[in-house]
Amino acid sequence: MSFDWEQSSKRIGIDDLTLLTKVSEGQIVENLKKRLQGSIIYTYIGFVLVAVNPYRLIKGMYGPEQIKKYRGKYSHELPPHVYSLADRMYRDLTSKRESQAVIITGESGAGKTETAKLIMQYISSVSGGGSSQIEHVKKVVLESNQVLESFGNATTLQNNNSSRFGKYMTIQFDEYGAPSGGRVRNYLLEKSRVVYQQQGERNFHIFYQLTMGASKEEKEYYGLDAPENFNYMNQGGKYVTDGMDEVEEYTKTKEAMISIGMTEEESTNLFRTVAIILHLGNIDFYEDEQGNAAITDESQVDWTASLIGVESQTLSYALTFRTIHTGGIGRQGEVINVNQDVNGAYFSRDALAKAIYTRSFDRLVQHVNRALGETNHELVLGILDIFGFEIFLNNGFEQFCINFVNEKLQQIFIELTLKLEQEEYVQEGIKWTPIKYFNNKIVCDLIEGRNPLGILTILNDVCLMPKSQIQSQDEKLLAKLDENLGNHEHYSRSFQDPMKFILKHYAGDVEYNSVGFTDKNIDTLFNDLILLCQGSSFDYLKSLFPEIIDANSKKRPTSTGTKVIKNASELVENLMKCIPHYIRCIRPNSTKKPLGFEDKLTSHQVRYLGLLENIRVRRAGFAFRQPFERFVHHYGVLCEKTWPRYNGSPKEGCKVLLDYIQLDPKEWQLGNSKVFIKHPESLFHVEELRERKYHDSARKIQKCYIHWKARKHYLELRQKASDLLVGKKQRRRLSVNRIFTGDNINYKSNAKIVDLLESGGHSTEEVLYTNKVYRVGYSRWRKKARREDRDIILTERGLYIFGKCPVKIRGEKKMVLKISREIPIATITGAHLSTLADNFVNLKITNYDLLIEDDKKTELITILNNKAEESNRQFNLNFTNTIQSKEKTGKFRTISFEADTNSSTILPNLKGSTKSLTVYVVPGLPADTRPSVITYKEREVRKVQKKPVIQQQQQQQTIRRNPPQVSSRGRGGRGGRGGRGGRGGFGRGGGGGRGKRQPPQPMGRGGRGGRGGRGGRGGRGRGIKPTKPQIREVENEEIHGGGLKLGGSGGGSSRGRGRRESPKIQPRGGGGGGGGWGQKQTTTTTRGGRGRREAPKIQPRGGRGTTSSRGGGGGWGQKQTTTTTRGGRGTTSSRGGGRGTSRGGGGGGGWGQKQTTTSSRGGWGSNNNNNTQVKRAPPKPKPKIQQPSVPTATVLFSFEASMNGEVSVQKGTTVEIVKKDESGWWTVKNHLGETGLAPYNYLKELN
């Protein structure tokens, strides 16, 4: 089981040193020690990261998984890590649009280089990508490390991979947060290491990679041998470094050179210069009889000269002779060739080797910059990886320059984290207790100062003095230092060695040996050596020395000290342009022991890095500060009052914003020009609120865009489907406007289908379409055509048909779901369809046809046609009412389609045999029918105004469940098919006629029942009983309609006396009508007397009833054709039974004859009623709605303002319309009184 450092870090020590219960140097060291021994190397001091070098790779701490885990997370959410600091840098760079820089400081061997590489790895991983240029920049950023480390790093006593040069890499980013270019600046390459190394150290890595890793042919070409045979490699006595495979590293270096754009010729030239340096180092000298330098081995000169591209004598002369130009200004000088002594010859040899290597390294950096491609983007992320503070037994001019640069970096840290921070609290009027600290500006001025004079200024002055036989230049330097700096508190002379002096750095006292200071500061390269290289036939070497030699020029070259001051100032200036981040690296032991810890060494670094003072300032101060204007601009989106623009003062806006998000008042203070937030956790909370707000807004935008994109795709797909069928095939009403959903059976929820796809190796295929279809076969037993259910799945590769097949399981025959057919999509060449409104599709496959009935055939055909177009195949689509379908057996089956105008079924009727099949199809919509396009606004308005279907169904069920009690038997005649029933006179209304057969409609409705007479009961309508629910599609919703039966309305009731009727007519008293279906009635019914006979020629009518008697029934009238009478059996425009007289009930309605268009109804009853009837109270008048003086609108959807000039509106509120605009944005005034722009399609105008 691997070590889980993340879980361990939660249990070992404290993540943030500002949370220590007791702040002291000992407590800091103890916490770092405890965490290191638990393999936890990172600790915070607020935003500063402290990293302890473990001297081994901790498993599980780095890599893609950890990068993914830390991406987008705040530092308090996960354990301390360099990835967390890198994520904060990148997030601030992209969100705040401010350049960032990380300053990595610490002793040599503290792990600065590896930390810098981890930051570059993280930034390259999380930054935007996609284009080849962006990926190229990322690759160069990472691969350049290998090349620059090979030529610029070396093994020292403190570090196996110590940076012997300073590197400041800036990565440029575009407006989308993607790397667009970059640049590398190098500082102070330790060129003296080329010619000399201390015991136990090595030269630069590239020398060992070339001598150990090069191929046999390369070694022969360069004349290479083992490292111990070269003077420039054997001085330290160390050739192998633990953990380094020189052969592998050489291969990586060559691959990295290719990645940064170097050609094979350029790589070969670079390696050749390394070989030249190695051979130069093997040229030795001896003193001849005249005391001049002479070459010991001429054969070594021959090898070197051949690599340089000059004659052997030319090289020997340049090393052993020196050309001197005499004469003053304004007169011709004399040229003198002077023999050099042995020391002079060695000096020339080493100077040439150092010059070649330094200029080759600068050329290598140029290659990297050319590959990065610096752009004009000003947004940069800088990573400073520079040599750490060095204290050796013998510290020379190189250590002096290195430690000076580290002093300048420490000064930046002090200025920004300690000095300026405390000064800012005072200026801003923030309550603050001052913290004492050491300001190293006094040490920086001691080294670079001009007034009073600093060490480097004095050094330059001494180098200009003429040499003396009595006193060396280095001795003059010490004398001048004592004269000018003798009383300085940070300068003193060594009591052990007269040539040494001591400086009190921020990191401790360092003793410097002044021997060689003046020579190394002048850094002289004689003209003879420059001319030697310029005369070379090796073009690459020749290009490294482009100087123009002017023998009469008295201009002195720039000293090394001056260059150091200039480079340090430029570096500080570049860093100050960015928002700085700090990583303080600590070397825990001096022996490079894995997880080893030395208390004294660590305590010393904690002290000079100023960690104790940093903790105190962080505990007492504020973690974040920002000007009012920028704070409101950056976080104003969190509050409605500050977004998009706050009209008040910025300071007031900060207070409004912080109060709105309810941040604890103890956590923030408002200064004179800035807002201060105390703890990082509070800042993280505010930042998280902002990111969540932007995330939610982005989701809304994405949702709208996805909806628009999907709808656009749907409309295009539907239009394409329409183009395939328009004018060729009748359309079904349900099919024209149907949305293409793709997966119509939700196949993923069917475990059996998913298992079958996986077992068949089809689970990785993209599913384009699924549906439940019918396969049409023939039942020999029933001797008729039959439909068989099938599931089909169409993928990018094939069409798969799922059906139940008989399988024997343990001797028992069972039906099991299987893939009955697998049809490669490339073999589907076309399809045959009829011209009628059916769902049959005859797919043309290479060797046979497949006949299916698919209610979503349009979608299937469209997808198949699109896939054929993508594969540059022809998809033949034919329309005919007679199809010859080829069976798998090779036989043909004739499929005929005929229109059936009499059928009321949705599914076509089938009639057929094994050889033929006839499909009877109900007529559909015309073939030229196209889908209707509903705009987004219309669709949303319909959603709001549409009455829920379930509410309609509940109302209908309520009508049917509560029929009134009816006592009357007389009723009006039943209407004809589609007609209205007759109206009953004081009786029951006639039944509604049966509805006409219609083409499939959104809702089938039967004939309406006849209206009852006054007091009569309305007739019951007769609806069409559908064989299958009719469906109407309204924006993805279905309304199921059947035969809707609506009753007629009832009338009032009365009582009366009957009359005697004619003997030919069976007398029947009329009755008071019951309440109709529509209204609840309270009536009293009395029975009348006998009827009276009438003359035979007169159409009888119901007699008048007496008090409390039932009126006579209406007579059975004769069939009438034109005359309209009361009573008789009505025909067209006639009505049934007679009308009652005063206080009598009306006669029952006659039995109306079956009509075709008009309906008969019963007679009218009298208006005189004596029955008791409860009258309904009149409805209360509705209050008058006072019309607004200005137009208003209801908000249909909430809208959040995101730009200047817009206004937020809430769903359900009413807004005033100030101004309408054709652009679609109306000026409105919301319920809060705010005026601004809002989208018109979010509103519904009221007046």
Q: Do 1072 and 1085 meet the contact criterion of CB atoms below 8 Å apart?
A: yes
108 is known to lie in a ligand binding site: yes
Residue 775, classed as helix, strand or coil, is strand
Looking at residue 489, its pLDDT comes to 93
> For residue range 695-739, what is the model confidence (pLDDT) as tens digits?
888 889 998 998 888 878 777 877 888 888 888 988 887 777 777
* Residue 108 designated active-site: yes
Q: What DSSP element (H or E) covers 420?
A: helix 420-428
> For residue range 164-191, what is the model confidence (pLDDT) as tens digits?
999 999 999 988 888 989 999 999 899 9
| The residue count for the chain | 1247
109 is known to lie in a ligand binding site: yes
Q: How far apart, in whole angstroms, are the C-alpha atoms of residue 701 and residue 1116? A: 76
Sheet bearing 674-677, strands edge to edge: 624-627, 674-677, 668-670
975 is known to lie in a ligand binding site: no
Q: How far apart, in whole angstroms, are the C-alpha atoms of residue 378 and residue 375? A: 8
Cα–Cα distances in angstroms (integers) from residue 74 to residues 49, 80, 81, 91, in the given order: 14, 10, 11, 10
662 phi-psi bin (left φ>0, alpha ψ -120 to 50, beta other): left
Q: Which of 53, 108, 145, 858 is catalytic?
A: 108
End-to-end CA distance of the chain: 73
The correct answer on CATH 1.10.3660.10 for the domain covering 1192-1245 is no
* Residue 223 designated active-site: no
Cα–Cα distances in angstroms (integers) from residue 90 to residues 117, 379, 653, in the given order: 15, 11, 28
Q: How far apart, in whole angstroms, are the C-alpha atoms of residue 452 and residue 463? A: 19
Annotation: CATH topology of 716-921 = PH-domain like (2.30.29)
Structural domain spans, the chain:
5-246+362-391+581-616, 716-921, 1192-1245
Strands 916-921 and 1214-1219: unpaired
111 is known to lie in a ligand binding site: yes
Looking at residue 11, its pLDDT comes to 66
Q: How far apart, in whole angstroms, are the C-alpha atoms of residue 25 and residue 47? A: 19
Q: What DSSP element (H or E) covers 183?
A: strand 179-187
Handedness of CA 509, 513, 514, 517 (dihedral sign): negative
Looking at residue 737, its pLDDT comes to 78
Q: Which of 114, 246, 249, 390 is catalytic?
A: 390
Of 1114, 1106, 1198, the C-alpha closest to 1161 is 1114
Residue 649, classed as helix, strand or coil, is coil
Beta strands in 641-766 (DSSP E): 668-670, 674-677
DSSP labels, 22-86: S--HHHHHHHHHHHHHTT--EEEETTEEEEE--SSPPTTSSSHHHHHHHTT--TTTS---HHHHH
What's this model's pTM, rounded to 2 decimal places? Answer: 0.57
Looking at residue 938, its pLDDT comes to 52
Q: For helices 527-534 and 342-372, give the axis angle rounded to 10 degrees.
A: 50
354 is known to lie in a ligand binding site: no
Q: Do 1112 and 1068 meet the contact criterion of CB atoms below 8 Å apart?
A: yes
Q: How far apart, in whole angstroms, are the C-alpha atoms of residue 400 and residue 513? A: 10
> Quick one: DSSP state of residue 1022?
B
Q: For helices 312-320 and 342-372, give the axis angle rounded to 10 degrees.
A: 110
Q: How far apart, in whole angstroms, are the C-alpha atoms of residue 272 and residue 817? A: 74
Q: Which of 9, 18, 43, 109 is catalytic?
A: 109
Q: CB burial class (10 A; 0-12, 13-18, 19+) of residue 306?
A: middle
Ramachandran angles phi, psi of 711, nearest 5°: -65, -40
CATH of 5-246+362-391+581-616, one of 1.20.810.10, 3.40.50.970, 1.10.10.410, 3.40.850.10: 3.40.850.10
Of 189, 521, 527, 529, the C-alpha closest to 359 is 189
Cα–Cα distances in angstroms (integers) from residue 906 to residues 838, 924, 927, 1041, in the given order: 9, 11, 18, 13
Average pLDDT per block of 10 residues along the chain, 1247 residues long: 49 83 90 94 92 92 93 86 95 90 90 92 84 84 92 90 91 89 91 92 95 93 93 93 91 93 94 96 93 92 94 94 69 76 93 96 94 86 88 90 90 78 80 77 92 92 81 90 93 92 91 92 87 94 88 73 91 90 93 92 90 81 79 87 85 88 85 82 82 88 88 78 86 79 88 90 91 83 79 93 84 84 93 92 92 91 91 91 89 90 76 86 86 59 48 44 40 45 44 41 40 43 39 34 34 38 39 37 38 40 40 41 39 40 41 39 41 53 60 88 83 90 82 88 83
> Quick one: DSSP state of residue 452?
T
Q: Do 884 and 891 meet the contact criterion of CB atoms below 8 Å apart?
A: no
107 is known to lie in a ligand binding site: yes
Cα–Cα distances in angstroms (integers) from residue 868 to residues 347, 797, 860, 862, 1225, in the given order: 80, 11, 12, 10, 44
User: Which residues share a beta bridge with 336?
Assistant: 324
Of 319, 271, 322, the C-alpha closest to 297 is 319
Looking at residue 1019, its pLDDT comes to 45
Q: Which of 39, 163, 1062, 1141 is catalytic?
A: 163
* Residue 162 designated active-site: yes
Which residues are CB-contacts of 1038 (< 8 A; sequence separation ≥ 6)? 1031, 1032
* Residue 109 designated active-site: yes
Looking at residue 935, its pLDDT comes to 56
Neighbours of 523 (CB within 10 A): 18
* Residue 390 designated active-site: yes
* Residue 749 designated active-site: no
1160 is known to lie in a ligand binding site: no
